[in-house]
Amino acid sequence: MVFLIAYKIASSKNDYTSLHERIKSLGNWFHYLDSFWLLEPTSLNNAREIHDHLVPFIYGADNDYIIVMRATKSDYYGWLPSTAWQWIQSREF
């Protein structure tokens, strides 16, 4: 199962290092666009669990946002490097 993670952190502390490290720690991932990740978690089973693991790494300003949702390969299209398409094609979702 693969999940999409997207966020907008508008707070003055725009250091994403700890958030990125937390996402990486949750399983297999692909990250090519600034605030867009694909995550194949190793132990978490749903979007809520992933969200709850990431929220402590977002500063929580009123205009900081995050969404986690299950990704699907039933309908997708885009322009990404070949490594992105290889990662996507090699996963079940």
Q: Map out the domains of the chain with their CATH numbers.
A: 3-89 (3.30.70)
Pair 60, 12: CB distance under 8 Å: no
pLDDT digits (tens, 9 = 90+) for 44-93: 989 999 999 999 888 666 778 899 999 988 888 899 999 999 999 998 88
Residue found under tokens 């299209």: 77
- In this predicted structure, what is the pLDDT of residue 63? 76
Alpha carbon distance 18, 25 (integer Å):
11
Alpha carbon distance 20, 90 (integer Å):
22
Q: Is the pTM of this model over 0.75?
A: yes
Strand boundaries in the chain, DSSP class E:
3-8, 27-33, 36-41, 65-70
